[in-house]
Structure 1
Amino acid sequence: MKLPILLLLGFVSCAASGKNWAMLFTGAKGWFNYSTHSNLCHAYQVLHKAGIPDERIVVVMYNDIADNPMNPFPGKLFNNYNHTDVYKGTPMDYTGKEVTAELVLAALKGDKEKVKSLVGREGKVIDSGPEDNVFVAVSDHGGPGSLLMPDRLMSAKELNGALQYMHDNKKYANLVFYLESCESGSIFLDLPKNIGIYAITASNKDNPAYMNYCYDPDIKDVCIGGEFSTAWTQNSDKVNIRTFTLKQQSLAIEKAVNDSRPQLFGDLSLLKHPLKDFFGGKSASKQMFTDLTSTKQGFKDRSVPFHTMHLSLLKRKVEQRPADIDLRLRLARLQAMMADVDRFYRLAAKHVYPTGDVAKIDAITTSNSESIRNWDCYEAALQAVSSSCPGLVQDQKVQGYFLSKLSVLVNMCNRETGPVVTEAVEAASRLTGLCN
């Protein structure tokens, strides 16, 4: 009987020798995307305090918020109303123009040579092995089957392909993925249940993610947190990560959010793991952040859809100051831009169905995204949108709304070929001034 016991002990020892790795990334940039940066800086603080060393945490973000001229607290980022700085100490491994879809995928796969070719230097990657656990957290803009990067749109097929590569090349024992973006449930619809990956998303495939802490009296025109991100980071701040499980955290997230609709995907057997298996093994330390649901003025904090955050905040200002002509003009200009987004997609549909099939055009442009059946077409359409209409894809005020309407291209691709839809995107771009 001693031999099996020794073998079992040896197995446990081997399993316990694995390391923790983490990757945090966002493709959003600009002042109005403050929350994406603060969410991930808070995530870093959680992982750092839990014991993952910086050399095994890869942070990818544009890094244009902390020192933005609009920031009233230079060099600092806050993730809720108590104004605890989450930016200090956060490593910025890849910033600015280094932040691309290819860079994220290469760093995730541990491809050092590819990373070096992209940024011109040695760079940090997820250099994990078969006994290691990997944690990935993302806060970003998204649309059906896509995530925003500064250079283009990354498809769910690409991201899932990178995860499959990691599995096939024994790059992890288990992997956990926390994703906050609009329509984020669409990213993992095809995630296999048998490759040791568990994913939780902020929303289902048809709904937006929601922002919170949107009414800070000192930080204007932005939300400084995301419902999903602040739910899991604040929960991690206050629980004992050595015993609190992923299942318990998923329930805590669901309870904490107001309007977001978290979804679970992949290998749900991982839910039994304690947080320490992915966040690091240190015991819970003193709580750094307080969950504040009311501002100093005393009103209940309200969540705001990420893809229309700017619209929601402007409308509220106009309600409070209806005589302010400047505010009303700003709102009118924003609404005109959003109308141009709708016009862009309708022009694309009309290019494909020029005979005046109004019923079909209406169905394609107003219905929710169908399941993506023609990935080759859709990825070509995403590339066409990125290159032909960068103005709307990258405009901070409407990019979330623009991405939420990518359902039109999904629906078209399910009926047409890639060249047809790509040509329609390019034609609509030529007729939409804001594309440039």
Structure 2
Amino acid sequence: MPCQDGDEAVKRTLVAAPLADAVHTSNWAVLVSTSRFWFNYRHLANTLSLYRTVKRLGIPDNQIILMLPDDMACNPRNTFTGSVFNDKSRLLDLYDDKGALEHLGMGGIEVDYRGNEVTVENFIRLLTDRWPTSHPHSKRLMTGPQSNVLIYMTGHGGNEFLKFQDSEEISSFDLADAFAQMYEKKRYHELLFMIDTCQANTMYNAFYSPGVIATGSSAKDQSSYSHHADQDVGVAVIDRWTYFYLEFLETYLNSTASDVRLGELFDYQTYDRVHSDAGVRYDLFPGGELAAREKRVLDFFGNVQGVEIEDGLKSSQIDWKKDLEALQKLAAKVEGEQEDVEGVHDSPIATAAGKLNASGPKATLDMAHASDSFLKKIAGAASLVVLGGAWMASSALTKQAAIK
């Protein structure tokens, strides 16, 4: 039908279009559990586990959107009131971490959407930023063309759909169109989509927006399995795919300086570990599989503190060197005029000009011997030239370091 042909043309155009030429300056995470009820305890634990890990690696709470449809910590069936665990050892309380995060002042959780707020509509609105002006900024995904976005989803699903609280579903086509809107509105630089559910890999088949890497826990007609149960809690406490992602992240990313690549992370999800065929889709990413696998894990899971510099303020090394040479010539000219003044033999200006490269900002002018007012003016001008050159060189180097 014509409408289908038109849709296919739009998709081809999006895939062929280049990504915005923007510098990666920030990372955001959207972490979504879509299941309620006590027997789905593991889905909330999955989400809180990823939440704790990205916080540990430096993404601040104001750049994490956490969606939890149920409060397992306060469920009357919970033997350990106020706590949620992802391991039967119960050494780590995901609701109120008493470990390293608390030591850093990062203990506890901040839930952005809870209970009945976790809906398909709100999730789509979050991605596309289609909110009324009264919607709080703290509950919005305030991303732009410089932002890398990690989206993690877990729950019950099937062939190209994921349930939200057993009352509605989101399809792979809904997600694909939402990502397309994000791309059109320049709401991401690169996007990593992760999903842990039955037949998870079918959820990214419909994607067509550039700059997206997608990975899932199981192929079509395969289930996604839990890892283990806690007999005292009474239910499974984490899913296998998420468990091994966490194991890798906690083992190999010990700091925000870790140089681990996405390819290593994806390769860790073997069939022996996951008991299903974990999948990855690379073709939407510029450079394909090779480029995607070479991306640093921290480009999505960690903190990035960059500086965005306007085009008019950018200065290359060649530019500031030319400016410095011009200042040196000006200083030399002033020196020549000074030498024409009768009775002046030892000029402090020449000394200052010679120190321009050797001493930089420390170059000073000794004006103790210049009694003539004209000489004082010349020396003062040379001093400004020297200090101006040093300032321009320092400023240019600072900008270059920020860009790198």
Q: Is the pair's TM-score, using the shorter chain for normalization, greater than 0.5?
A: yes
The code of the aligned residue for 2:129 comes to G
Q: Are the aligned partners of 1:31 and 1:64 in contact in 2 as well (CA < 8 Å)? A: no
What are the Cα deviations for residues 360-395 of structure 1, in whole angstroms up to 9, with x where unaligned? xxxxxxxxxxxxxxxxxxxxxxxxxxxxxxxxxxxx
Identify the match of residue 78 of structure 1 among 80, 85, 90.
Answer: 85
Q: Are the aligned partners of 1:63 and 1:96 in contact in 2 as well (CA < 8 Å)? A: yes
- Structure 1 pair 115/105, CA: closer, same or farther in 2 (3 Å)? farther
- Structure 1 pair 256/232, CA: closer, same or farther in 2 (3 Å)? farther
Distance 1:90 1:260 in 2: 31
- Structure 1 pair 112/270, CA: closer, same or farther in 2 (3 Å)? farther
Q: Which residue of 1 aligns with 2:343?
A: none
- Structure 1 pair 145/202, CA: closer, same or farther in 2 (3 Å)? same
Tell me if 1:274 matches 2:296: yes
Q: Which residue of 2 aligns with 1:103?
A: 122
Q: Which residue of 2 aligns with 1:261?
A: 277
TM (normalized to structure 1)? 0.57
TM (normalized to structure 2)? 0.62
Q: Are the aligned partners of 2:69 and 2:116 in contact in 1 as well (CA < 8 Å)? A: yes
Q: Which residue of 2 aligns with 1:236?
A: 249
The code of the aligned residue for 1:87 comes to Y
Identify the match of residue 92 of structure 1 among 111, 128, 132.
Answer: 111
3-state SS of paired residue (1:34): helix
The code of the aligned residue for 1:15 comes to V
Tell me if 1:223 matches 2:239: no
3-state SS of paired residue (2:146): coil
Distance 2:144 2:127 in 1: 12
User: Over aligned residues, Cα RMSD in angstroms?
Assistant: 2.0
1:81 is displaced (CA, Å) by 2.1
Distance 1:49 1:259 in 2: 28
1:260 is displaced (CA, Å) by 2.4
- Structure 1 pair 130/98, CA: closer, same or farther in 2 (3 Å)? same
1:113 is displaced (CA, Å) by 2.2
The code of the aligned residue for 1:75 comes to G
Distance 1:174 1:39 in 2: 23
What are the Cα deviations for residues 295-339 of structure 1, in whole angstroms up to 9, with x where unaligned? xxxxxxxxxxxxxxxxxxxxxxxxxxxxxxxxxxxxxxxxxxxxx
Q: Are the aligned partners of 1:63 and 1:92 in contact in 2 as well (CA < 8 Å)? A: no
Q: Which residue of 1 aligns with 2:18?
A: none
What are the Cα deviations for residues 27-76 of structure 1, in whole angstroms up to 9, with x where unaligned? 10010000000011010010001111101100011132111111111111
Identify the match of residue 140 of structure 1 among 155, 158, 165.
Answer: 155
Report the identity percentage.
26
Q: Which residue of 2 aligns with 1:156?
A: 172
Distance 1:149 1:86 in 2: 22
What are the Cα deviations for residues 173-209 of structure 1, in whole angstroms up to 9, with x where unaligned? 10001100111111111223x6000011000122111
3-state SS of paired residue (1:92): coil
Identify the match of residue 190 of structure 2 among 174, 184, 194.
Answer: 174
Q: Are the aligned partners of 2:172 and 2:206 in contact in 1 as well (CA < 8 Å)? A: no
The code of the aligned residue for 2:40 comes to N
* Structure index of larger Rg: 2
- Structure 1 pair 14/107, CA: closer, same or farther in 2 (3 Å)? closer
The code of the aligned residue for 1:271 comes to R
- Structure 1 pair 130/122, CA: closer, same or farther in 2 (3 Å)? closer
Tell me if 1:203 matches 2:247: no
1:167 is displaced (CA, Å) by 1.2
Q: Which stretches of structure 1, 4 residues or more, deviate above 6 A after TM superposition? A: none
The code of the aligned residue for 2:140 comes to V
Q: Which residue of 1 aligns with 2:30?
A: 23
- Structure 1 pair 75/174, CA: closer, same or farther in 2 (3 Å)? same
Q: Which runs of 5+ in 1 are unaligned?
A: 1-12, 283-436
Distance 1:20 1:59 in 2: 15
